[in-house]
A and B are shown apart, each in its own frame.
Chain A
Amino acid sequence: MTSETLEQGATGSLGERGRRLSTGRLGDRLFGISARGSGILLLLIIAAIAVFLIAKAVPALKADKANFLTSQEWNPDAAQPRFGVLQLAWGTLLSSFMALILATPVAIGIALFIAYYSPRRLASGLGYVVDLLAAVPSVVYGLWGLQFFVPKMASVANFLHDHLGWIPLFGGDNVGGQSILTAAIVLAIMILPIISSISREVFLQVPRANIEAALALGATRWEVIRMAVLPFGRSGMVSAAMLGLGRALGETIAVAMVLSTAGGISLRILKPGGNTFAANIANTFGMAGNLGRGALIASGLVLFVITLLVNMLARAIVARRKEFV
């Protein structure tokens, strides 16, 4: 009897504890499942983005009477729908690469300034000032670009055209403010902060020991940067520029507002005209019919793929650097 009650008591308390443990386990399982589920949900969203964009793009692509990749037309809602992304791809890549070329040296200069030239006490404050550039919404850049910057650029364009018009880049009949160059400058301003903040982070990771080694050899400040900082930060700077490029490629509203879109492929960067994937979607979506929307979605898909490739390349460079160092 006694042993039995004892045993019962023992099992009882064990059962009690077992239950409490299992509540813990149940909680653990539920929590683990929801955490894991969130991760999986994220994957599903990405998959859904790809699937639904493709699903909506395919009917439009089937109806396309022109070559989607090489045609320069954009008449998806015509009786004989003809549309292609070549001019969009051209405008997007041209404006983004110009923005990249303009922004990268300046951004690296800013990063060097904050990391190595500015007074130490001001460094974080100055970094914050540059980050503020990133906090300004793109629609505000668009408004500023359209109302303030475009008129200024019109005179710049005229000046360049008058004096350097013999260079094909600056040629053309009627130059103006709402040009690819203006769009590229606005884009450059918008991608400055991302490039400079990543570069700055990389520069700050340069081991103090390497900087002192260069200093002790009798290097000037620039020579220290050239010997110890830039080689160390090279891959970081490249990937920062690539991430900036990815941002520029997908930027919509500011370009849509600043650029006076027109068809055709041209290298005349001062002429109003040109178009980008994103701006085309924003500008023509409102008027697009059923097939037109499908066509826009198809062009969005191309944009997605291009930015994806650029971003993945950037990450791959970062990852390789991590292995290397």
Chain B
Amino acid sequence: MAKRIEISGLNAYYGKTRAIEDISMTIEPRSVTAFIGPSGCGKSTLLRTLNRMHEVIPGARVEGKVMLDDLNLYGSDVDPVAVRRAVGMVFQRPNPFPTMSIFDNVAAGLKLNGVRGRNRLGEIVEKSLRGANLWNEVKDRLNRPGAGLSGGQQQRLCIARAIAVEPQVLLMDEPCSALDPISTLAVEDLIASLKDQYTIVIVTHNMQQAARVSDRTGFFNLAGQGQPGRLVEIDDTNKIFTNPGEKATEDYITGRFG
């Protein structure tokens, strides 16, 4: 069910300011693609255009094309709500619904899609929690509030919630930046185990993380102060970290700026 994403000529704006400029790239299915780059280079913005979350910010808009296999996400007859149902997202800070139990958190998306019945829901919830490597830790307290878990557990809960609806693509916006190293490791392991089934795109500030988890890496940079972010290059992660094609990439990954 994983799909290939093809981005072509994509520009994203906040009001009048252009945040990213003319991005074209292909994201391969059943692999992990990492976006790296200095702060403000538009990598999170690009990620949010892939499930049309960018436009929920007032004044924000997108030009260009994002194809999910042969489906255009920005087609004129496309409902962004349906796009988000097909493209799951995990955020920087774990954001389980504070008033819902662990079970209800995972089931939230399912219920929206009309899955009913405690048994049916229970099956998928268990499967998703297992998929998120969280089942063993929470199976005895599914009715407790999700906010009571540790940060790392909460983030895995959010991943379980995202994969419960079986999306085509999983987007992760710096999913480990609010977590301690042990939780980070657990989430990274999880990412590695999920890539057999999903197309995963991850934004990260942490270059080691990009090197550890991703198959391909895209490096983004600003053309200059106040300029929109651009894709400098995208290639196999190995190549980016050992023999990048561009000088700017090399400067960045060797820590000379950013």
Contact = CB atoms under 8 A, between A and B. Distances in A.
Per the CB under 8 Å rule, do A and B touch in the complex?
Answer: yes
A286 to B, nearest CB: 53
Contacts of A217: 84-85, 88, 108-109, 112, 161-162, 165
A209 B162 CA distance: 14
A225 B93 CA distance: 21
A223 to B, nearest CB: 6
B58 interface: yes
A120 B58 contact: yes
How would you classify the secondary structure of chain A's contact residues: helix, strand, loop or mixed?
Answer: helix
B89 interface: yes
A231 interface: yes
B81 interface: yes
A228 B97 contact: yes
Interface string B137-165: 00000000000000000000010011001
A219 B95 contact: no
Nearest to A120: B58
A126 interface: no
Nearest to B92: A209
Contact of B95 (A207, A218, A232): A207
A220 B81 CA distance: 6
A304 B99 CA distance: 35
Nearest to A221: B81
Contact of A216 (B53, B93, B96): B53
Interface string A287-299: 0000000000000
Contacts of A325: 98
Interface string B57-85: 01000000000000000000000011111
3 shortest interchain CB distances as A-B pairs: A218-B85, A209-B95, A231-B99
20 contacts: A207-B95, A212-B91, A212-B95, A213-B95, A214-B108, A215-B84, A216-B84, A216-B88, A217-B84, A217-B88, A217-B109, A218-B82, A218-B85, A218-B112, A218-B165, A223-B112, A227-B97, A231-B100, A232-B98, A325-B98
Interface of B: 51, 53, 56, 58, 81-86, 88-89, 91, 93, 95-100, 108-109, 112-113, 158, 161-162, 165
Given A217-B112, A218-B83, 17 more contacts: A207-B95, A210-B97, A210-B98, A212-B53, A212-B95, A213-B91, A214-B97, A215-B53, A216-B88, A217-B85, A217-B109, A219-B112, A220-B81, A227-B97, A227-B108, A228-B97, A231-B99
